[in-house]
Amino acid sequence: MSSTKNPENLVPQSAGLTTVAAQAAQGSALAGPVPAEPTEVYDVVVVGGGPAGENVAQYATQGTSLTVALVEGELLGGECAYYACMPSKALLRPLEVAAASRNLPGLTAAQPSANGLLERRDQWTSRYDDAGQLRWAQSLGIEVLRGWGRLVGERRVAVSGPAGVRLVEARHAVVLATGSRPVVPPPLRDVAAWDSRDVTAVKDVPERLVIVGGGVVACEAATWMTALGSKVTMVVRGGRLLATSEPFASQLVEKALTDLGVRVVTGLQVESCTRDEVAPAPELGRIHGGPLRVQGGGGVLEADEVLVATGRRPALEGLGLESVGLTAQDVTSGNLPQWLHAVGDASGRNPLTHMGKYQARVIGERIAALAAGRTPEEVPEIVPVPRVVFTDPQVAASGLTEAQARAQGLDVVTATVPYTSAAGAALLRDDAHGQAMLVVDRASRTLVGATFVGPEAGEMIHAATIAIVGRVPVELLRHAVPAYPTASEIWLRLVESLPAELLHPAQD
Ligand SMILES: Cc1cc2nc3c(=O)[nH]c(=O)nc-3n(C[C@H](O)[C@H](O)[C@H](O)COP(=O)(O)OP(=O)(O)OC[C@H]3O[C@@H](n4cnc5c(N)ncnc54)[C@H](O)[C@@H]3O)c2cc1C
Ligand SMILES: NC(=O)c1ccc[n+]([C@@H]2O[C@H](COP(=O)([O-])OP(=O)(O)OC[C@H]3O[C@@H](n4cnc5c(N)ncnc54)[C@H](O)[C@@H]3O)[C@@H](O)[C@H]2O)c1
Distance 310 CA to ligand 2 centre (A): 5
> Cis peptide leading into 393, omega within 30 of 0?
yes
* Topology adopted by domain 386-503: Enolase-like; domain 1 (3.30.390)
Ligand 1 pocket check for 402: Cβ under 6 Å = no
Contact present, 453 and 252 (Cβ < 8 Å): yes
Other CB atoms within a 10 A radius of the CB of residue 368 amount to 22
Per-residue model confidence as pLDDT tens for the chain (508 residues) = 333 333 334 334 343 344 544 555 555 555 678 998 888 999 999 999 999 999 999 999 999 999 999 999 999 999 999 999 999 999 999 999 999 999 999 999 999 999 999 999 999 999 999 999 999 999 999 999 999 999 999 999 999 998 899 999 999 999 999 999 999 999 999 999 999 999 999 999 999 999 999 999 999 999 999 999 999 999 999 999 999 999 999 999 999 999 999 999 999 999 999 999 999 888 999 999 999 999 999 999 999 999 999 999 999 999 999 999 999 999 999 999 999 999 999 999 999 999 999 999 999 999 999 999 999 999 998 899 999 999 999 999 999 999 999 999 999 999 999 999 999 999 999 999 999 999 999 999 999 999 999 999 999 999 999 999 999 999 999 999 999 999 999 999 999 999 999 999 887 6
Mutate to test the pocket of ligand 2, among 216, 270, 394 (most ligand atoms within 8 A of CB): 216
Query: DSSP per residue over 269-281, as a string?
Result: ---EEEES-B---
Other CB atoms within a 10 A radius of the CB of residue 144 amount to 23
Give the residue, by CA position, lying nearest to ligand 1 atom 53: 84
Nearest ligand to the C-alpha atom of residue 273: 2
Is the Cα dihedral 27, 33, 39, 42 positive or negative?
Answer: positive
On the CB side of 319, how many CA atoms lie within 13 Å of its CA? 28
The top-level CATH class assigned to 184-310 is: alpha beta
Ligand 2 pocket check for 53: Cβ under 6 Å = no
Would you state the pLDDT for residue 282? 82
Ligand 1 pocket check for 179: Cβ under 6 Å = yes
3-state helix, strand, coil in the chain (%, to 5): 35, 25, 40
Distance 287 CA to ligand 2 centre (A): 22
Ligand 2 pocket check for 309: Cβ under 6 Å = yes
Is the Cα dihedral 327, 331, 336, 341 positive or negative?
Answer: positive
- What one-letter code names the amino acid at 24? A
Other CB atoms within a 10 A radius of the CB of residue 105 amount to 6
Would you state the pLDDT for residue 281? 81
Nearest ligand to the C-alpha atom of residue 309: 2
Closest atom of ligand 1 relative to the 346 alpha carbon: 26
Would you state the pLDDT for residue 8? 38
Distance CA 92, CA 225 (A): 10
Distance CA 143, CA 345 (A): 22
Ligand 1 pocket check for 178: Cβ under 6 Å = yes
Residue 389, strand partner residues = 395
Distance CA 246, CA 136 (A): 39
- What one-letter code names the amino acid at 220? E
CATH code of the domain occupying 19-81+124-181+314-372: 3.50.50.60
Query: DSSP per residue over 93-120, as a string?
Result: HHHHHHHHHHTSTTSPPP---HHHHHHH
Nearest to 418 by CA among 497, 499, 484: 497
Nearest ligand to the C-alpha atom of residue 211: 2
Domain positions in the chain:
19-81+124-181+314-372, 184-310, 386-503
**Alpha-carbon torsion angle 339, 344, 345, 347, nearest 10:** 30
Would you state the pLDDT for residue 17? 41
Other CB atoms within a 10 A radius of the CB of residue 325 amount to 9
Element (DSSP H or E) covering residue 27: helix 20-29
Contact present, 395 and 245 (Cβ < 8 Å): yes
Distance 17 CA to ligand 1 centre (A): 16
Distance CA 463, CA 138 (A): 35
Mutate to test the pocket of ligand 2, among 211, 237, 257, 398 (most ligand atoms within 8 A of CB): 237
Residue 300, strand partner residues = 295
Distance CA 416, CA 422 (A): 13
Nearest ligand to the C-alpha atom of residue 266: 2
Give the residue, by CA position, lying nearest to ligand 2 atom 14: 311
Q: Which residues are annotated as a binding site for NAD(+)?
A: 213-220, 311
Distance CA 182, CA 197 (A): 9
Question: pTM of the predicted model, to two decimals?
Answer: 0.95
CA distances from 430 to 100, 313, 391, 396, 402 (A): 8, 41, 18, 20, 30
Ligand 2 pocket check for 351: Cβ under 6 Å = yes
CA distances from 366 to 57, 58, 230, 362, 426 (A): 12, 12, 48, 6, 45
Mutate to test the pocket of ligand 1, among 224, 353, 391 (most ligand atoms within 8 A of CB): 353
Q: Which residues are annotated as a binding site for FAD?
A: 89, 149, 178-180, 345
Ligand 2 pocket check for 216: Cβ under 6 Å = yes
Distance CA 262, CA 234 (A): 7
Distance 151 CA to ligand 2 centre (A): 29
184-310 and 386-503 share one CATH topology?
no
Distance CA 311, CA 85 (A): 15
Distance 369 CA to ligand 2 centre (A): 36
Number of helices (H), then strands (E), belonging to the chain: the values are: 17, 21
Distance 501 CA to ligand 1 centre (A): 45
Nearest ligand to the C-alpha atom of residue 180: 1
Other CB atoms within a 10 A radius of the CB of residue 483 amount to 8
Is the Cα dihedral 50, 52, 55, 56 positive or negative?
Answer: negative
Ligand 2 pocket check for 387: Cβ under 6 Å = yes
Ligand 2 pocket check for 87: Cβ under 6 Å = no
Ligand 2 pocket check for 310: Cβ under 6 Å = yes
Give the residue, by CA position, lying nearest to ligand 2 atom 10: 351
